[in-house]
Amino acid sequence: MRLHEIERGDGLFNRLLIGFISLVSRMRLPDAARVAFYHKEFFSSPMGAWTQAAMRGPSPWSVSERELMAALVAKWNSCAFCVGAHGAVAAKEMQRTAVDAALVDFRAAPISERLKATLVFLEILTLRPMELTAEDARAVLHAGVKPEALEDAIAVGAVFSIVTRYADALDFAVPTANEFNRAASLLLKRGYAS
């Protein structure tokens, strides 16, 4: 973590809270959660509200499908922390083998055609946003995805591009696979609102 105040917490209450959660969960509180406690009114509150809506709000996409989208956005942005974190949450409600296959090549993975078509759109959005056209959106709609569902997916893509960008700029510590798995259970249960 490049900004040490985020790691230790700003203010006595947050320092105690970070220490308490780490103690109870018997693992170092992941840096993403530390950011959620930091300078809250400026960033974490409005960011958490949009993230919670995108990832846990009502949607035609299941929670695991949205978590897989997040993991792939992280892969395209080369963010090891977010690939691990969101791949682990996706694998709570989806076969781990399907998650791993999608992270290698989503086009060949055992996932739905509507999800594959949406991931094609999100890949362009993430890597070459200025090349995205209405034709790309029409291809997703023709695959059976409703406009509202595509908008939900665009929100997931945008939110997780933001997350991956500050995770890497701040140099989040990457937990072990076991820690990711334990943190995923908490993220599944508690969501993202800060």
Partner 1 sequence: MTTNRHDHRTLAEALRRRVLDGPGRTDRATRQAMAERAAGGPAIDAPFDDLARQIGASAAEVTDEQVARVLRSTGSEKAAFEVIAAAALGADLLRWQQGIKALDEATDALA
Tell whether residue 132 is a contact of partner 1 (CB under 8 A): yes
Q: List the alpha helices (DSSP H) in 26-112.
A: 31-37, 45-56, 63-76, 80-93, 96-105
Cβ 159 to partner 1 shortest distance, Å: 8
Q: How far apart are CA 20 and CA 92, in angstroms?
A: 25
User: What's the Cα-to-Cα distance from 86 to each of 8, 39, 99, 118, 181, rounded to whole Å?
Assistant: 24, 24, 10, 17, 10
- Are the beta carbons of 59 and 152 closer than 8 angstroms? yes
Q: Which of 138, 176, 185, 190 binds partner 1 (CB under 8 A)?
A: 138
Q: How far apart are CA 118 and CA 102, in angstroms?
A: 13
Tell whether residue 11 is a contact of partner 1 (CB under 8 A): no
* CB neighbour list of residue 149: distance below 8 Å, 6 or more residues apart: 59, 60, 61, 114, 118
Site for partner 1 in 52-71 (CB under 8 A): 52-54, 57-59
| DSSP summary character for residue 42 | I
Q: Which two tokens stand for residue 171?
A: 């140099």
Tell whether residue 33 is a contact of partner 1 (CB under 8 A): no
Q: Which two tokens stand for residue 164?
A: 């991956």
- Tell me whether residue 26 or residue 128 sits nearer to partner 1 (CB atom): 128
Q: Which of 29, 125, 184, 187 binds partner 1 (CB under 8 A)?
A: 125
Tell whether residue 118 is a contact of partner 1 (CB under 8 A): no
Q: Which of 137, 174, 186, 188 binds partner 1 (CB under 8 A)?
A: 137
Tell whether residue 79 is a contact of partner 1 (CB under 8 A): yes
Using CB under 8 A, list all residues that contact partner 1: 2-6, 10, 38-39, 42-43, 45-47, 49-50, 52-54, 57-59, 77-79, 121, 125-126, 129-130, 132-138, 141, 147-148, 150-152, 154-155, 157-159, 161-162, 164-171
